[in-house]
A and B are shown apart, each in its own frame.
Chain A
Amino acid sequence: MWENLKEFASTFFVTGDPLIYGADVSIALTMVAIVFVLTKYKKWGWLWREWLTTVDHKRIGIMYLIASLLMLFRGGVDALLMRLQLAFPNVEFLHSDHYNAIFTTHGTIMILFMAMPMMFGLFNMVVPLQLGARDVAYPFLNAVSFWLFMFGAMLFNLSFVIGGSPDAGWLSYPPLSQNDFSPGPGQNFWIWGIQISGIGSLATGINFIVTILKMRAPGMKLSNMPLFSWSVLSSSIMIIFAFPILTVTIALLFLDRFAGAHFFTMGGGGNPMMYLNLIWMWGHPEVYIVVVPAFGIFSEVVATFSKKTIFGYKSMVWALMSIAVASFFTWAHHFFTMGTSASVIVFFAISTMVIAIPTGVKIFNWLFTMFRGRISFKQPMLWTIAFIPCFVVGGATGVMLAVAPADYQYHNSYFLIAHFHQVLIGGVVFGYLAGIYYWWPKLFGFKLDEKLGKWGFWFWNIGFYVCFMPQYALGFMGMTRRYYTYGWDRGWADLNLISTVGAFLMGIGFIFQVWQIAYSIKHGERDTTGDPWNARTLEWSIPSPAPFYNFAVVPTVKGADDWWLTKEAKANGTYKEEPAQLEPIHMPKNSGIPFIMSIFWFLVGFGFTFGWVWIAVIGFIGVALCMWARSFQYDTDYYVPVEEVRSTEASLGRVY
């Protein structure tokens, strides 16, 4: 018995590496600390009532934000480990298989558990406020989405200390990801972590499409909806078309591994190439799914900080929507070099280049908006300005990659690595940071410190170029991606060292940002006006932090940049004060079901990961019971009485 247990533990827990022992200890300590603090300050009830069961989109947004920042940290540590390994030739800091695991988890976490939740956080923090709505269309489903993401991410992260990490790359190409080459549970962690959170993403896509189409304040036509909401619509449409493909693809991969099916195997009639087609039919739109909301953010920020209406609103909308369509016709550029007919290659090469057109249109619109504007260089604007050259270069190298014959040269080289980090960091990360800085006061009621923020900004930016510019050169010099070590004879040493230094500069930038948040919680400038940036859209017309029902009185919208119009009218005396009539507000009730149901999903994933089907069965039964219970709940909302609205508003400095 004892022997069996020992043997079990030695395969179940990952051992033999100081990094992993370190992680074990820090996980244990964090758990103990959390339990201790919650118990000491009697906060369990508060945690449950205010957060774990909440259906308030703003709180869900905040939870997404916290989770994604933690994941940025984890993915960033992975990145630094890799860069350390590559800093000098012949380093033996990481074993080759450990290196494989780290680039796999880094890529997966950054895209699926950092960028996606940060994006959903921004959706949740902003969209209903911008539309003049009191919530998203399906608040309960929104909570389900969040908890599915959270438990999916936890399952994935667990692989580091239990069972072993996936190591077949962030897209898990077969045959590498099949049983023959990846026998352990690592690949299953990858499959189930993504599958569970992916279901949540799909639901979020549906939720925001309906929210945007149906929940806009009276008078807000689609044709004068703020551009961030447009970008969310575009992104959500891509989600609902792309994510079912992902669901199917990884379900089939799982069947191959678990049930001996032959979808993508080398033998049995399977077709590994089909996996590549399927995964990129999701994967390419996926990168646009995460970058398009950043375009929306830039549009808001540029207009606000240049004190001008956005230039070319219509062409912006057109550009956002055409990217949504075009992104589905480019996937094959990811395997030009694997050999297909010339006409297929030409089609995909051209359709890839076509996407540069709407993107270029947008960049010009932003520049024209800034032109002759009174620009104020606050944090959101800084990141926006830094984004523009970065994305232009990243876009240009992307077009270079799309030139099929040239791709035979760059394919899978560090040129590619530099390109996609340039668009992912310069586009997505910079964009979301701009958005977070911009909307932070609305959610938390204070601004983030400018001075610390500037330090963070410069470290990130300089670090970025120091890190990735040398990699373009390394690509030309023949260094291919996923190299784990190299010899002096290659002549890559200097550039790699520089690149590593750059990565650490970015790491310092991140530390400044963490410091900035901690510092600003205490000392940050409080926002008493609700409109700290003198902005243009509806979310700035209510107090900060926004009360849980958002709008005491739902506004009637008169045109684009409605809040700006109101302010102008007030300034020149043409504003007609309409008697505001407070009414009871209809709100959804909190529910514990999303949280509990996601725990059961976690069990499903965990059971299948280790092939312990009975755990998965318990999980499925639990999920079904939760759905059943929800179906029988009828009393799911309530009314906030007028007196309560009035006193809440009064405490926020508004009188009705």
Chain B
Amino acid sequence: MTNHHDHAHGAHDHEHGHEEHEQLKVLGFWIFVVTDCILFGSLFATYAVLMNSYAGGPTGKELFELPGIIASTFILLTSSFTSGLAVLAMNKGKVKEMISWLAVTAVLGLAFVVLEINEFTHLVHEGATMATSAFWSAFFTLVGTHGLHVSVGLFWMVALMIQLKRRGITPVTRRKVTNLSLYWHFLDVVWIFLFTVVYLMGVM
């Protein structure tokens, strides 16, 4: 790492200083992801404690519909893959291709969110709400927090697509997309845990 004081004034060095700063932001984002892991960890722990606290209400086994969940899992995994393709395109310097892959990712992400909202409404119709029992409180909170994360990611993705369109690939947009894809993969990993612990174990 070069020291920040030993480069001079030219435009080139200006860029260089920035690049270093952009890397700094990636490191910070990694640490943020660590904190998010702990956040989800706490929610998973809560879920594990309350997993059998149905309080006489409906159980997961009765209400979960695996086919829909498997479809959303598939959609989310694919979106993680396409976000990876966007990063590949970025590394090759192809803005257009990159924006298209991000758009595909966003559409898949949106589909995932819509399916989740659908699932939740269905569950509510079946009489399982946040207030039904501790189990359902934990379920809606854990799954909902993940869904909220995905929605925030979508919002962010749209902002980035606009910026990429306006500015192309610069150290700044590059860093932002790197962070976004890190975030997106992270949500994918969380979902795999969720799928296993909540749904698979739930219907078993």
Contact = CB atoms under 8 A, between A and B. Distances in A.
* Bound together: yes
B83 interface: no
Contacts of B5: 218, 553-554, 583
B49 A213 contact: no
Given A554-B5, A583-B9, A632-B163, A244 B38 contact: yes
A278 B163 contact: no
Interface string B164-177: 00010000100010
Given A261-B137, A269-B50, A269-B55, A138 B130 contact: no
Given A267-B55, A554-B5, A274 B46 contact: yes
Given A554-B3, A554-B5, A583-B9, A240 B49 contact: no
Nearest to A203: B32
A255 B163 contact: no
Nearest to A202: B35
A240 B30 CA distance: 12
Given A209-B31, A274-B46, A263 B137 contact: yes
B163 A206 contact: no
Contact of B27 (A210, A252, A263): A210
A335 interface: no
B143 to A, nearest CB: 13
Contact of B31 (A210, A267, A270, A631): A210
A248 B35 contact: no
Nearest to B137: A261
A206 B24 contact: no
A518 to B, nearest CB: 40
B138 interface: yes
A240 B31 contact: yes
A260 B155 CA distance: 29
Interface string B113-134: 0000000000000000011111
A554 to B, nearest CB: 4
A137 B27 CA distance: 10
B3 A218 contact: yes
A207 B25 CA distance: 10
Interface string A268-306: 111100100010000000000000000000000000000
Nearest to B27: A210
A558 interface: no
Nearest to B52: A269
Contacts of A278: 42, 46
Nearest to B53: A269
Interface of A: 134, 137-138, 141, 202, 206-207, 209-210, 213-214, 217-218, 240-241, 243-245, 247-249, 251-252, 255-256, 259-263, 265, 267-271, 274, 278, 553-554, 583-584, 586, 624, 628, 631-632, 634, 639
A262 B28 contact: no
B43 interface: yes
B35 A240 contact: yes
B5 to A, nearest CB: 4
Interface in B1-26: 3-5, 8-9, 14, 17, 24-25
Contacts of B160: 631
Contacts of B156: 631
A263 B50 contact: yes
B43 A248 contact: yes
B35 A243 contact: yes
A177 B130 CA distance: 19
A260 B133 CA distance: 9
Q: Which 8 A-B pairs have the closest CB atoms?
A: A269-B53, A269-B134, A260-B131, A261-B137, A269-B55, A248-B42, A244-B38, A554-B5
- Size bracket of the B interface: 35 or more
A261 to B, nearest CB: 4
A628 B159 contact: yes
Contacts of A218: 3, 5
A260 B123 CA distance: 17
Interface in B131-164: 131-135, 137-138, 140-141, 155-156, 159-160, 162-163
Contacts of B43: 248
Nearest to B25: A138
B9 A584 contact: yes
Given A134-B4, A138-B28, A206-B32, 4 more contacts: A240-B34, A247-B39, A268-B137, A628-B159
A259 B17 CA distance: 49
Contact of A271 (B27, B35, B36, B49): B49
Nearest to A628: B159
B54 interface: yes
A249 B36 CA distance: 14
Contacts of A248: 39, 42-43, 46
Contacts of A634: 167, 172
Contacts of B9: 583-584, 639
Contacts of B8: 583
Contacts of B24: 137-138, 210, 214
Contacts of A252: 46, 137, 141
Given A209-B31, A213-B27, A632 B141 contact: no
Contacts of A586: 4, 17
Contacts of B141: 251-252, 255, 261, 263
Contacts of B14: 639
A584 B5 CA distance: 9
A209 B31 CA distance: 9
Contacts of A265: 134
A271 B159 contact: no
A269 B46 contact: no
Nearest to A206: B31
A313 B69 CA distance: 55
A236 B119 CA distance: 39
Given A260-B130, A262-B137, A586-B4, A631 B36 contact: no
A267 B27 CA distance: 44
24 contacts: A138-B25, A141-B28, A206-B32, A209-B31, A214-B24, A214-B27, A240-B31, A240-B34, A241-B38, A243-B35, A248-B43, A252-B141, A256-B137, A262-B137, A263-B134, A263-B137, A267-B55, A268-B55, A270-B50, A271-B50, A271-B53, A583-B9, A632-B162, A632-B163
B135 A244 contact: no
Contacts of A554: 3-5
Contacts of A217: 3
B133 A269 contact: yes
A584 B39 CA distance: 42
B130 A261 contact: yes
A535 B90 CA distance: 50
B133 to A, nearest CB: 5
Contacts of A245: 38, 42
Nearest to A630: B159
A68 to B, nearest CB: 24
B137 A244 contact: no
Interface in B49-81: 49-50, 53-55
B134 A631 contact: no
B80 to A, nearest CB: 22
A191 to B, nearest CB: 15
A209 B29 CA distance: 12
A262 B133 contact: yes
Nearest to A247: B39
Interface in B153-204: 155-156, 159-160, 162-163, 167, 172, 176
Contacts of A639: 9, 14
A143 to B, nearest CB: 15
B28 A206 contact: yes
Nearest to A274: B49
B28 A210 contact: yes
